[in-house]
Structures are given as structure tokens and as C-alpha cells.
Amino acid sequence: MKSVVESNRKSSLIPKPTTTTVTKHDTNLKGTTAPTIKKVPLSITNNNIRKSTTMLSSKRKNNEKDPARSIRPRVDTGLRRSSSSSTSTASNKATNKKTTIVSKKPLSRAPPKDLRTKISDMEDARHANEAKIAELSKDWKELEDTVANKETESREVSQRLVELQTMREVEERTHGDEMEILKSQHLQQNRTLEEINTNLLGKLTDMQNEASTMKQRTQNASKQHQIAQSENIALQETISRTSASFIELEAELMSTKSQHEMTDKKLTERQHYIDELKQEIQGTNAELKELETQLLGGEKMRRKLHNTIQELKGNIRVFCRVRPPLESEKSREGNLAQIRYYGEDGEKLELTETHCSTLGKKTTKSHPFSFDKVFAPETTQEECFEEISQLVQSALDGYNVCIFAYGQTGSGKTYTMQGPSGPTSQSSGMIPRAVQQIYEVTQKLSERGWTYTMEGQFLEIYNETVHDLLGDTSNYGKVKHDIRHEKNGKTTVTDMTTVILDSPSKVNMMLRKASQNRATGATNLNERSSRSHSVFMLRLTGNNATTNERSSGVLNLIDLAGSERLALSGSTGDRLRETQAINKSLSCLGDVIHALANNKEGGHVPFRNSKLTYLLQNSLGGNSKTLMFVNISPLSEHFGETICSLRFATKVNSCRIGTAKKLRV
């Protein structure tokens, strides 16, 4: 009885190991699948050990209290026996170890034992179970390590199989492609060899035909040789006859040689005559060049006399320049206005306007105009400057000279006065050309004892406010610049930046800075429209140490902002205010021109109505040589603005401002 209870107790205390099920999958050539391992959790019956110990301690206490109860101890062997048998069965399957299965027998009453002996037996059993549990845990860990190693090896083998399968497929594809290439090359070589064979057969046939042809020619040649021999005999007879006639021809040749010698003498005489004619032609060309030089000098004299006549008349000279159309403007039919240029000196132009009535009847109206000079679209910057070079020279001579450009926006005023943004020697404007001419003339005059200083200022009138274009733009509106007219005819503007222009390169730097600081904006009429009037003032002071002479002149080159109609320009916001200020100042300029044209003595001329007219007071009011460029657009859509500009220029041309006098130093 005791042995059965102890065996049941020991079997119930053995831990239930985890059952590992390894499932292997079939592998094929494309890859292998790692074996799947299912783990059943190992339940070690530590709780059962604790429960048994607790029950034994409680029983010991009860037996001490009641000795009668200790005679027959209660042992629940049935339940333990079933759990012990199931646990031992699972353990036997996992560890492949043999255990002794105790058969069920009817319980017989054992002789009573001492409780302490039982407890010690149970503790011994517990120690034995713990040793078995440790041994089983160690075996379990070894089994897990073995399974992990096998899993790793299985994965490596599977990966290697996949790689080998991939390499095999790549090799098969590569070999297949190479076989296809070799097959195609083989077919191509076969076709090439067949073509070569066909060509060789054809050549062989041709050579056979040529051989037969050559045989035929040889036979014909032999026949012709026989014929030639007979002809040779006949020729020998002919030569004997010809030798006689040769003697006769030799006599004729002697007479021909004598005639040839006489012809050579005549040719020599004629060659001498030709050389004399060439010398006469060279003399004539020299005279022609001298006459052309005289003609150019006469043209310069004519221009100078014309300028003198205009100065004596006292009128404001007006030059008209028509802007050349752009390539995009030429492509549209009917986009260009009809303009005719005529006159002996190219001083007239006529614009033709076509009207179509509601009934479809077309009528034409012509508008003729005459100025001091008219420049067609093909006129270059150099040709324009030649006409004003005498005025620039007058500034060196000590006169107040003013040249300003007027016209609608986009008509080429800024291009005429300053040139393009990247100027060249052909496209530079009137301002750099004027400074270049003055610089060259002063270099020549230095040989005669003259020394000149050139001071340049550049300002703009923006919304009736004077700005210094050579100063700091952050000071715009903070520094007030006043316009002052002195009694000797000089006009000055206070607090302006003055640049000493001792080389043409400084002029280009000054123009670039002024162009960057000048106010421009985009409108519907011009994408880069000037929104202010710009004024370049060049003061020239000369001193001759030999004769103690002094001279002082001023050259004002003005680029007026373009007039524009608000309905066409589409200006809003700042552009609207700028347009209103521009149109107001140009309207005030028109009022001044109207007052000067009426020429009433003592009449009021409203110079102070705008900053622009007040700045031009000395240029328009008397002691100045003044010239206006009126720039017009060649487009038919700007016909109305063009007519207005030309009419205004005609009125300016009729103004008499008196004869200019030299400025007093």
C-alpha cells in the first residue's frame, strides 16, 4: 500500500514536458519550406508540490490535536493516480525513457506510521522529483537547441536551393538567348554566303561573256590590221605627194611671219595708248574724290549755315523720328500706318488715313507735316547724332543747349536719348555720343591751351517730385530738391549728386545707375514704360591759360515720359497716379508752348504750373539753343496719338524764343 501511494505521489510530481511536433514539407526544385515546429507548453507541477506540503502540515497539526485521526490517514490516491499516469505517459513520449507503470490494486490498510516519517519520505520524494525535473529541463533545453540548429540549417539549405534554382533559370535563359543569337548569326551568314555565291556565279557568267566578246574583237582587229596595211601603202603614196605641197606651204609661212611682226608692233603701240588712258582715269578718280570731299565739306557748311539761320530765326528746332517696326509688328497685315517721306533735304512726311463709311465707301485723308528734319525708320543712331552734333559743339562754345524727346509711350524716346540696355558702338544713344564728342573735342583743344572740366547730374521728375537718380533711392521723398534760375541764365537744382566725367566709361556707369533707379512700369501700351521725366545736365567749364579766356556752357538732354490715354493703357493704382501726373505735366508744357506761339509781348507764360516747365524755363523762354525730337510710332492703331504728337511738334516749331547768347562766367 505504501509503495502504491509513493509511486502515485512521485508520478504526480514529475513535470509535464512540452511536446514538439516537427512537420516536414516536401521540397521541389523551385524552393524548400522550413519545417514547422509546434510547441506544447511544459507545465511543471510546482503548485502540486506546494499543495501537498500544505496538506501534510495541516494534517500534522490535526493529528497533534486529535491523535485518533492519525490512525487512518486519508490519501486521495485515485485522482493522483489518474493525473500521474497521464503525466508519466506524456513524459515517456517526449523523452523516450521507460517508467514503471503501477497497476491498480485494492487499497489495504497499512499499519499506522509516525507522521514525521511520512513527511520525511515525502520530502525525499520531493527532492527526487526536483532532480528529475532539473534533468528533464536540461534535456528539454538541449532538444530546443538541437531544433533551433536544425531550423537554421533548414533555412540555409532552402535559401541555397532557391539561389541554385535562380542561377539555373538565369543560365537557361542566357543559354537560350545565346542559342537564338547563334542561330540568327548562322542564318545571316548562310544568307550572306548564298548572296556571295550568286554574285560570283553572275561574275563568272559575265567573264565568260567578256571572253567570247574579246575573241570576236580579236578576229575583227586582225581583219582591220590587214585593211590598215593596205591603207598604209596608200598613205605612203599620199605623203610623197604631200611633201611637194609642204614646200609650197613653207613659202606661205614666211610671208605670214612678216605680217605677224607688223601686227605685234601695232599691239605695242595700242598698249602704250591704254596705259596713258589708265593714268588719265586715275587722275580723274583723284579729282572725283576731291570733289566728293568738297561736297561733304559743303554739306557740313550747309548744315552749319542752316543752324545759323535757325538760330537767327530764334525758333525751336524740331526733328521727327519714326520708330522702326518690330518683327512681330511686320507680320500682321494692315498693322503699319501709311507714311510717305519726301522733300529735298528729307524734311517732310505725309500720313494717309483711310475711313470706311457705313455704306462701305472708302475715303482717304492725308496729313502733311514739315519739320527741320525727318528721320525714316531705317535711319541709324549715328545719322541722327550727326544732325545735332553742331548743337553739342555750341555747349563747348559757352551756350545753354537743350535737347528733349517728346512722344507717346513706346515710340522710342528712351532708345533715342540713352540707347538700349546693352548699348554697342552703333546703338548708343544721344547722351553717350554727345559726351564722347565733347571728350574728343576737349582733347584736341588741349593742344591750344584749353582745359575743360565736365560735371554731370541726372534727375527725374516723378509725380511732380524731383529725385536724384545718382543718389540713394532710400532718400527719395526725404530730401527736397529746389529748382533755381539765376540772372545769368543758369539753372541749378539743389542737393544733387555731381559726378566729374573725365572719361567716357564714367558716363556709361552713370547711365546704368540712372536707368536702374529710374521709375518704370508695365502698361497695356508698353511693357517697360518710363513713368517719369529724366534730365541729364552736363556743365562744361573751360579755361585757356594762354589767352586767359574762359567759357561756361550747359547741355541739357531730356527724356520726357510718354503721353498715354487711360482708356488704352489700362492703368490702375500707382500706374493711374503716374499717368495722371505725366499727362498733367505734358499738358502744362502744351500751355507754355501755346503761350509762346501766340508771342504776345508781356504776356504771361505759365512756367510754374509744373516742375517740368519750370525746369525748362530758360530752355524755352529765351537764352538757349533748343531742339525737340518728336518720336512717333509706325503702327496704325496709334494713328490718333501720332497725329496729336505731330501737331504739337508743329506748334513747338513755330515758337520764337529769340537768339541765344553765351553764358557769362
- Mark the binding-site residues, compressed into ranges: 407-414
Q: What are phi and psi of 469, to 5 degrees?
A: -70, -15
Task: Point out the annotated binding site for ATP.
Answer: 407-414
Element holding 325 (H helix, E strand): none
- CA-nearest of 122, 123, 127, 81 to 102 is 81
CA distance 269 to 254: 24
Hey, CA dihedral for 235, 240, 241, 247, is it positive or negative? positive
Phi, psi dihedrals of residue 492, rounded to the nearest 5°: -125, 155
Q: Partners of 165 in the beta sheet?
A: none
Distance (Å, whole) CA 645 – CA 629: 11
What's the rounded Cα separation, in Å, for the pair 288 and 292? 6
Half-sphere exposure of 180 (CA within 13 A, CB side): 5
Residues near 622 by beta carbon (within 8 Å), at least 6 away in sequence: 657, 658, 660
C-alpha–C-alpha distance, residues 125 and 552, integer Å: 135
Measured N-to-C along each axis, helices 115-313 and 77-95 cross at an angle, to the nearest 10 degrees, of 60
Secondary structure element (H or E) that encloses residue 334, with its range:
none
Which distant-in-sequence residues (6+ apart) come within 8 Å of 51 by Cβ?
none
Q: State how far the Cα of 383 lies from the Cα of 35, in Å rounded to an integer.
A: 100
Going by C-alpha positions, the residue among 554, 557, 551 that lies closest to residue 535 is 557
Per DSSP, the residues of 6-47 read HHHHHHHHS-BPPPEEEEPPP-BTTB--PPEEEEPPPB--HH
Radius of gyration of the chain (CA): 62
Instruction: Report how far residue 570's alpha carbon sits from residue 561's, in angstroms, rounded to the nearest whole number.
Output: 17
Any long-range contacts for 309-312 (C-beta under 8 Å, 24+ apart)? 310/372, 311/625, 311/659, 311/660, 312/659
**What CA–CA distance (Å, rounded) separates 431 from 385?**
10
CA 140/CA 150 separation, integer angstroms: 15
Closest CA to 432 of 534, 529, 528, 536: 536
CA distance 468 to 518: 9
* Residue whose C-alpha is closest to residue 518's, from 480, 478, 473: 473
- Separation between Cα atoms, residue 90 and residue 20, nearest integer Å: 11
* Residues 426 and 379 sit within 8 Å (Cβ to Cβ): no
Cα separation, 415 vs 429, in Å, equals 6
Is 627 within 8 Å of 388 (Cβ atoms)?
A: yes
| CA 87 centroid distance within chain | 87
Cα–Cα distances in angstroms (integers) from residue 569 to residues 79, 329, 337, 573, in the given order: 110, 18, 20, 12
